[in-house]
Amino acid sequence: MSYKVKIAWQKADHEAFIDNKYSRAHRWMFDGAEVVGSASPHAVPAPMSLANAVDPEEAFVASLASCHMLWFLALAAGRGALVNSYEDNAEGILAKDADGNLAMTRVTLRPKVDAEDADENEIAELHHAAHQKCYIANSVTTEIIVEPQ
């Protein structure tokens, strides 16, 4: 399987670029959907970054949270557990790794699930199984913690 994303950036006419004062705003295009991306304002100050755009670090956290959720829902449906809602307030930590490089060293998922036909133990089992199956979690070295709410 292959997954394709188009990323596009254009220098504004008034920007010199070589002075490193250029907009980091760009576009991410996925299957007809378009998202405004930017460098994180934590890394590149405004106005060269856009606080209301998605930055790569946020997208990384969202990718892990989304993959986990989709597996959780699929597994719950397969077990006959009726899930009414799922919400996750996930958080990623950018810190130095063992080699001294900045990296997303930890992502904490905090899913809140409203399910009618599953108790806390079954929910915990579903989260464990979802984590084991998540393609994105299986692709990274980041520590991933799941803290059901």
Per-residue confidence (pLDDT) for residue 5, from 0 to 100 = 95
Per-residue confidence (pLDDT) for residue 23, from 0 to 100 = 95
CA distances from 106 to 12, 53, 99, 113, 114 (A): 36, 22, 15, 22, 26
Q: Tell me: domain 56-146, CATH 3.40.50.720, correct?
A: no
Per-residue confidence (pLDDT) for residue 106, from 0 to 100 = 97
Per-residue confidence (pLDDT) for residue 136, from 0 to 100 = 97
Per-residue confidence (pLDDT) for residue 25, from 0 to 100 = 95
Per-residue confidence (pLDDT) for residue 117, from 0 to 100 = 81
Residues 6+ apart with CB under 8 A from 26: 7, 8, 9, 36, 37, 38
CA atoms within 13 A on the CB side of 96: 4
- φ, ψ for residue 43, nearest 5 deg: -100, -35
Domain boundaries along the sequence of the chain: 1-54, 56-146
